[in-house]
Amino acid sequence: MHPIHELTTPSNPSTRDKIFATARELFYREGFHAVGIDTIAATAGVAKTSLYRWFPSKDQLIVAVLESLHDEFWAKWESVAEKHEGNAREELLAQLGWIGKWIVDPRSRGCPFLNAASEFPEPSHPARAVVLRNKQLLRRRLLQLSMAMGSDDPQLLADQLTLLIDGAFACSQSLGKKGPAASLALAGAALTKVSTSKQ
């Protein structure tokens, strides 16, 4: 349910596995800028030279972490989609359901891609390419579902759903997980009901 915590560390983790799992957890929990290479190496129990052997720069490690989260997010999305093939509205509500559970998970610190966009405002930073790809794909998939549901204005509905999801992630960090963010699935259901002419 929660991409950050679904990663299973091998029972006999390699040095790279240790570094990677540690970086994923620390970057998400503490922030990309707040966590340095020294902290990652010490927490993983490896030498800095070993870390740099696998990840020559901190930026490369950040991008690797974001890439893995992107892949896991869409693997989860696809698994949900397969269960609701042929019923776009049911699929959308199921997608909003698991994302909503992630948002209110006590361990959640919001959307890692929005977090990265906030921490790296420079468009040229390599992390921004992963963020853009993730969010463009999210909007594209929401547009496909909006079209399949028979929305009166699929592009508008896709934009509204994108804002709803990202807004819920952000709101959970400012007003808490029991605030408006907890209403993501209900809000999405109401929005799609109003915005579609075919049920």
Tell whether pTM > 0.85: yes
- Please say whether the beta carbons of 100 and 185 come within 8 A: yes
Q: Tell me what pLDDT residue 176 has.
A: 86
Instruction: For residue 106, give the DSSP letter.
Output: T
- Return the residue matching tokens 């463009």: 136
Q: What is the CATH number of domain 3-195?
A: 1.10.357.10
- Please say whether the beta carbons of 26 and 37 come within 8 A: no
Specify the 3-state DSSP secondary structure of 151. Answer: strand
Between CA 88 and CA 148 the distance in angstroms is 6
- Return the residue matching tokens 């299973």: 8
Between CA 96 and CA 26 the distance in angstroms is 26
Q: What is the total residue count of the chain?
A: 199
Between CA 81 and CA 78 the distance in angstroms is 5
State in Å, rounded, how far the first CA of the chain is from the last one. Answer: 28
pLDDT tens for the 199 residues of the chain, in order: 455 555 555 555 789 999 999 999 999 999 999 999 999 999 999 999 999 999 999 999 999 999 999 999 999 999 999 999 999 999 999 999 999 999 999 999 999 999 999 999 999 999 999 999 999 999 999 999 999 999 989 999 999 999 999 999 999 988 888 888 889 999 999 998 877 654 4
Between CA 112 and CA 68 the distance in angstroms is 11
Specify the 3-state DSSP secondary structure of 47. Answer: coil
Q: Tell me what pLDDT residue 177 has.
A: 85
